[in-house]
């Protein structure tokens, strides 16, 4: 995700590998921690720590979906949100360290400095961490907005719009369910009436009045 800096036949190719421009050979930066590229190794370790925090947040969110108790579910969701917040901060920190170090301390290298697509993907991953944290803290956010309902006019208007929209959608769903229920009831009623008429014994009148049949 880092730049292509060609000097002394050496090309820094992101966090993950270091290549020789002449020999066209590359080596991984993870097992080769050297003093010459300490800034690169430090940023790499910070980014790996952010990845672990992101996996921890995902695990806590999945655990919250498995648990049925509401208090435990909220605890897991909020803990996962906190892990994603820290992961976003650590990811941004690693990218900033990498960017500043490359731009400031590598000015003596000849040739332009260009950043690849992975650099943008890393910032996008930071945004995804923040979005996941926002979704996991959504209940707490709505609770805080509800407490401010009587204080802030704009919040009151927004919440009223959301409540009205949700009410209309819920009413439409209830009407559709009621309509389907009535259609099912009518169709099942017709079937039961036909079956009763088919099984009902036929009465043969043998004459006589309403009191019963008369002997001939």
* pLDDT tens, residue order, the chain (216 aa): 444 444 444 555 555 666 666 666 666 655 444 444 566 677 778 888 888 999 998 898 888 888 888 788 888 888 888 999 999 999 998 888 887 777 776 666 666 666 667 778 888 888 999 998 888 888 777 777 677 666 777 777 777 888 888 888 888 888 888 888 888 877 766 655 555 455 455 554 444 444 455 444
57 and 35, same domain (yes or no)? yes
pLDDT of the residue at 89 = 92
50 and 156, same domain (yes or no)? no
52 and 133, same domain (yes or no)? yes
- Residue-by-residue DSSP string for the chain: -----EETTEEEETTTEEEETTTTEEEESSS---STTHHHHHHHHHHHHHHHHHHHHHHHHHHHHH---HHHHHHHHHHHHHHHHHHHHHHHHHHHHHHHHHHHHTTTS-S-----HHHHHHHHHHHHHHHHHHHHTHHHHHHHHHHTTTT-HHHHHHHHHHHHHHHHHHHHHHHHHHHHHHHHHHHHHHHHHHHHHHHSPPP---S--TT-----
201 domain residue, yes or no? no
Whether the predicted model's global pTM rises above the 0.95 cut? no
Distance CA 93, CA 86 (A): 10
Distance CA 53, CA 82 (A): 10
Quote the radius of gyration of the chain (alpha carbons, Å).
35
The vertex-44 CA angle with 46 and 12, nearest 5°, equals 150
Query: Which residue, of 93, 116, 144, is where some domain finishes?
Result: 144
pLDDT of the residue at 28 = 63
66 and 158, same domain (yes or no)? no
203 domain residue, yes or no? no
Distance CA 173, CA 33 (A): 60
192 domain residue, yes or no? no
205 domain residue, yes or no? no
130 and 161, same domain (yes or no)? no
Distance CA 82, CA 60 (A): 10
38 and 69, same domain (yes or no)? yes
pLDDT of the residue at 87 = 92
Distance CA 34, CA 110 (A): 22
Distance CA 155, CA 25 (A): 59
Distance CA 55, CA 128 (A): 13
166 and 121, same domain (yes or no)? no
Domain count, the chain: 2
Segments forming the whole domain that contains residue 137: 6-144
Strand order in the sheet with 25-28: 6-7, 10-13, 17-20, 25-28
153 and 88, same domain (yes or no)? no
């Amino acid at each position: 995700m880092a730049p292509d800096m060609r000097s002394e036949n050496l090309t820094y190719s992101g966090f993950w590998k270091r290549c020789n421009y002449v020999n066209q050979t590359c080596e991984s930066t993870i097992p080769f921690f050297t003093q010459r590229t300490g800034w690169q190794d430090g940023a790499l370790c910070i980014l790996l720590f952010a990845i672990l925090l992101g996996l921890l947040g995902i695990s806590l969110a999945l655990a919250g979906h498995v648990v049925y108790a509401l208090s435990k579910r909220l605890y897991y969701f909020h803990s996962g949100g906190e892990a994603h917040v820290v992961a976003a901060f650590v990811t941004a920190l690693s990218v900033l360290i990498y960017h500043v170090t490359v731009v400031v301390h590598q000015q003596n290298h000849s040739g332009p400095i260009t950043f690849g697509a992975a650099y943008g993907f890393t910032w996008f991953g930071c945004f995804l961490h923040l979005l996941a944290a926002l979704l996991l803290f959504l209940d707490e956010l709505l609770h805080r907005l509800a407490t401010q309902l009587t204080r802030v006019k704009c919040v009151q208007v927004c919440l009223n719009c959301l409540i009205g929209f949700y009410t209309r959608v819920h009413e439409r769903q209830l009407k559709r369910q009621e309509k389907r229920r009535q259609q099912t009831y009518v169709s099942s009623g017709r079937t039961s009436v036909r079956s009763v008429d088919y099984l009902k014994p036929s009465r043969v009148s043998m004459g006589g009045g309403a009191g019963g049949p008369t002997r001939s």
